[in-house]
Amino acid sequence: MTKRKLSDDALRQGAEGYRSGARVCWRYYRIEADAKLAAAAARRLGKRREAQGYDFGFCSPGSIRQVEPGSQYAGLWEVCWP
């Protein structure tokens, strides 16, 4: 199996959906492998912004979870982006 490597911009644009908040946004991915790549990119970007003094509040850039049934994005993988 070949490892996929995508740029941060490609990972942002490859999301199935998008939801924004005051400090972060959440992007939704159909494929778990894409969500994991996106989470790693989001963690890197989050660390850079934290070093610049940005406060994410209770949110954690790079966190990943599968959305429960009953939601608009049910079954997709949710990644928190800074």
- Residues 6-60: tens digit of each pLDDT: 555 655 666 788 888 889 999 999 999 999 999 999 999 999 999 999 999 889 9
Residue 70 forms part of a structural domain: yes
pLDDT greater than 60 at residue 5: no
Select from 30, 41, 32, 34 the least CA-distant residue to 81.
41
Residue 13 forms part of a structural domain: no
Instruction: Give me the domain span that covers residue 56.
Output: 23-81
Numbers of helices and strands, H then E, in the chain:
2, 4
Residue 76 forms part of a structural domain: yes
How many domains is the chain partitioned into structurally?
A: 1
Residue 2 forms part of a structural domain: no
pTM of the model: 0.81
